């Protein structure tokens, strides 16, 4: 479908992968609202791209319901998350280990519930951004891989609720399959893994093949939204060298 004049909410869209997506959506003529906590970054995106800036904590349940009720988006992209605290398993505290659950999963739950309870209008799409760590794990980032897998599961659970209630809302999972330089998560993780292996960060990142800068990530997500071949799929892997691959087809 054409994204021109579509109303789209992107959480965590003021930096990193989220910002790359916002740039791509604006170039498609979409009306984008960006939800984030960082006031300075949010204001900068608003000035540069002409988006609607909505300052909010994505783990605030009331804010999720209020924003969706006010904006009524055609598309919702759940991208916000915390940078995992890196360290070997035997050196992480419980707070370190569970940080992605307290932010990423909690926010995912509240926003998915808000989309289903409001509900968003029939034909709406909700994209849940997961991670390649949800496929192969991430031994130095505590509960991050599990949290990202849980988000993937939750998108599937939400599809079942939508079907049971005949809401006509489609939930899909977006899975970046590599670390991305220039993002909080990518820089923190690649630095930690490179140090553990005794190699440079650039050498470590090269192991993933061609890079996928945030804007290329955004272009791939736009293709998922715009290209009919992806309309019925459920989970999509994104990489710099292979582009978009369907990891899971339509879910029952």
Distance CA 96, CA 208 (A): 26
Q: What is the pLDDT of residue 250?
A: 72
Domains of the chain: 7-248 (3.40.50.720)
pTM of full prediction above 0.75: yes
pLDDT digits (tens, 9 = 90+) for 16-42: 999 999 999 999 999 999 999 999 999
Residues 6+ apart with CB under 8 A from 24: 215, 218, 219, 221, 222
Per residue in 101-127, pLDDT (tens digit) is 999 999 999 999 999 999 999 999 999
Q: What percent of the chain has pLDDT over 90?
A: 96
230: exposed, middle or buried (C-beta count within 10 Å: 0-12, 13-18, 19+)?
middle
Q: Find all residues with CB under 8 Å of 182, minimum gap 6, and list them.
A: 16, 213, 214
Average pLDDT over residues 125-142: 96
Report residue 251's pLDDT band, with 50, 70 and 90 as the boundaries. low
CA distance 129 to 127: 6
pLDDT average, residue stretch 208-231? 96
Q: What is the pLDDT of residue 252?
A: 40
Token reading at 226: 């715009």
Whose CA is closest to 217, among 22, 6, 70, 47? 22
For helices 16-27 and 39-49, what crossing angle results, to 10°? Answer: 20
Tell me the per-residue pLDDT of 156-200, one tens digit each, with 9 for 90 and over. Answer: 999 999 999 999 999 999 999 999 998 999 999 999 999 999 999
Starting at the earlier edge strand, list the strands of the sheet with 125-129.
52-55, 31-36, 7-11, 75-78, 125-129, 170-176, 235-239, 243-248
Q: Which two three-digit tokens encode residue 36?
A: 């984030």
The 10s digit of each residue's pLDDT in 223-246 is 999 999 998 899 999 999 999 999
Catalytic residue numbers read: 130, 144, 148
- What is the predicted pLDDT for the residue at 203? 95
Residue 56 has pLDDT above 70, yes or no: yes
Distance between CA atoms of residues 134 and 148, nearest Å = 5
The model's confidence at residue 150, banded by pLDDT at 50, 70 and 90, is very high
For 175-201, the DSSP string reads EE-S--TTSHHHHHHHHHHHHHHTS-H
Helix axes 16-27, 184-197, angle to 10 degrees: 140
User: What's the whole-number average pLDDT of the chain?
Assistant: 96
Specify the DSSP element, H or E, that contains 238: strand 235-239
């Amino acid at each position: 479908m054409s994204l021109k004049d579509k109303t789209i909410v992107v959480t965590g869209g003021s930096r990193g992968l989220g910002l790359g997506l916002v740039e791509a959506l604006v170039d498609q003529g979409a009306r984008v609202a960006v939800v984030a906590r960082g006031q300075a970054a949010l204001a900068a995106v608003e000035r540069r791209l002409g988006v609607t800036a909505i300052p909010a904590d994505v783990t605030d349940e009331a804010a999720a319901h209020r924003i969706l009720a006010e904006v009524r988006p055609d598309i919702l992209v759940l991208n916000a998350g915390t940078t995992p605290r890196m360290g070997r398993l035997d050196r992480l505290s419980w707070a370190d280990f569970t940080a992605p659950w307290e932010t990423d999963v909690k926010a995912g739950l509240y926003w998915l519930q808000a989309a289903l309870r409001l509900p968003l209008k029939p034909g709406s799409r909700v994209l849940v951004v997961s991670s390649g760590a949800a496929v192969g794990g991430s031994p130095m980032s505590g509960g991050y891989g599990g949290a990202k897998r849980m988000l993937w599961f939750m998108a599937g659970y939400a599809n079942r609720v939508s079907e049971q209630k005949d809401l006509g809302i489609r939930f899909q999972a977006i899975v970046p399959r590599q670390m991305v330089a220039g993002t909080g998560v990518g820089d923190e993780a690649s630095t930690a893994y490179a140090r553990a292996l005794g190699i440079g960060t650039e050498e470590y990142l090269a192991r993933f093949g061609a890079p996928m800068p945030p804007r290329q990530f955004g272009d791939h997500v736009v293709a998922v939204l715009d290209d009919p071949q992806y309309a019925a799929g459920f989970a999509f892997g994104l990489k710099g060298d292979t582009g978009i691959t369907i990891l899971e087809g339509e879910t029952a």
